[in-house]
Structure 1
């Protein structure tokens, strides 16, 4: 079968597919001249499965240490979901309850009230909680926008400084400097 032209074409096609689907640096690090598709697949598979323990440790640390910080709810839950999926690929089971725990533990302070309201959701699931938090995030953004708008409106309509009076716009009265009187003060009643 080594000399079979059809098999050589299929082998070259598979190697080309590996080349197009993984990073070029990784491909060049793994592949050597004369490798067939099986050898390339074996090397790539070994590269990703030989370090499962270390990957699992790092992914668990990242998963349980995730915090929302300044990211949106959508970005935060997608990061958690991606990490959970990667852990599942390594054989680590991430339950829906564990996802919910990690999600609520990492929420920023703005979601303090929303996090306490999660206990009111009957039979909470990860998708239900994410939907609730997304709506809460929209509500908080609208409240901030409204508060900013009201502050600007109040500041420009009635809360701003009074307009300058016509007397303030008139030319200032002249008063001679103190040094023009010499060393002696002006006599009483001079002004």
Structure 2
């Protein structure tokens, strides 16, 4: 058995017409989406950057980028049942991983995956200034309170990633100063030491 034949038989994306040209709709349909994207996108949580990153990895992993990058003419693909089936699965993934309010904002019968993806992304990028203001309020107002130090640091890192993604640069010094300012009082000495070490 040649290498190319062996690859075609083990390739889950192989189609009968051209091995590896299109993902197999049945294989894509069975992808455990909540394992691949373990986040529910919401306006009330700072998780857009992580949600988008998980989906971009998923699209690369399963060779699906042509469904969401605008390079494929949806009207030209309407007769390709396999392509339409994969597109429908992507739309289902998007709907299942967003909050109810986002779902009701973007849902419309007849949309392709590219349109749905673009609408969701637009909700978080079209009004960049409003998003930055919201994230800044969350970031600079973040305090440890009852959370563990690990959970507090992770929360600040998540918010800084969101701000960077929105175009507001959060450097290491700003992240450190915000972290130390929000630590509980009993960690005051640790905060001073952190500033001395990394300042």
Q: Which moved more, 1:17-26 or 1:61-70?
A: 17-26
**Structure 1 residues without counterparts, runs of 5 or longer:** 126-191
Match of 2:154 among 74, 78, 81: 78
User: Cα offset for 1:21?
Assistant: 2.6
User: Cα offset for 1:107?
Assistant: 1.8
Which residues in structure 2 correspond to 1:134-173 (within 5 Å)?
none
Match of 1:48 among 124, 128, 150: 124
User: Cα offset for 1:116?
Assistant: 2.8
User: Cα offset for 1:25?
Assistant: 4.4
Structure of higher CA gyration radius: 1
- Mark the CA change 1:56 to 1:4 in structure 2 (over 3 Å): closer, same or farther: same
What are the superposed Cα offsets for residues 145-178 of structure 1, whole Å, 9 maximum, x if unpaired?
A: xxxxxxxxxxxxxxxxxxxxxxxxxxxxxxxxxx
What are the superposed Cα offsets for residues 64-85 of structure 1, whole Å, 9 maximum, x if unpaired?
A: 1222223321122111111111
Q: Which moved more, 1:111-120 or 1:52-61?
A: 111-120
| Aligned equivalents of 1:47, 1:119: Cα separation in 2 | 37
What are the superposed Cα offsets for residues 80-139 of structure 1, whole Å, 9 maximum, x if unpaired?
A: 111111111112111111111101112222122233333553xx28xxxxxxxxxxxxxx
2:112 maps to which residue? Answer: 36
| Aligned equivalents of 2:128, 2:96: Cα separation in 1 | 24
- Mark the CA change 1:75 to 1:7 in structure 2 (over 3 Å): closer, same or farther: closer
- Mark the CA change 1:23 to 1:61 in structure 2 (over 3 Å): closer, same or farther: closer
| Aligned equivalents of 1:13, 1:45: Cα separation in 2 | 18
Q: What is the aligned residue count?
A: 123
1:106 maps to which residue? Answer: 182
Q: Which moved more, 1:85-94 or 1:66-75?
A: 66-75
Residue 91, structure 1, aligned to residue 167, structure 2: yes
User: Cα offset for 1:34?
Assistant: 1.6
- Report the TM-score, using the length of structure 1 for normalisation: 0.56
| Aligned equivalents of 1:116, 1:23: Cα separation in 2 | 40
Residue 64, structure 1, aligned to residue 140, structure 2: yes
**Structure 2 residues without counterparts, runs of 5 or longer:** 1-75
- Report the TM-score, using the length of structure 2 for normalisation: 0.54
Per chain length, whose mean CA-contact separation is higher, i.e. which structure has more relative contact order (CA < 8 Å, sep 6+)?
2
- Mark the CA change 1:13 to 1:114 in structure 2 (over 3 Å): closer, same or farther: closer
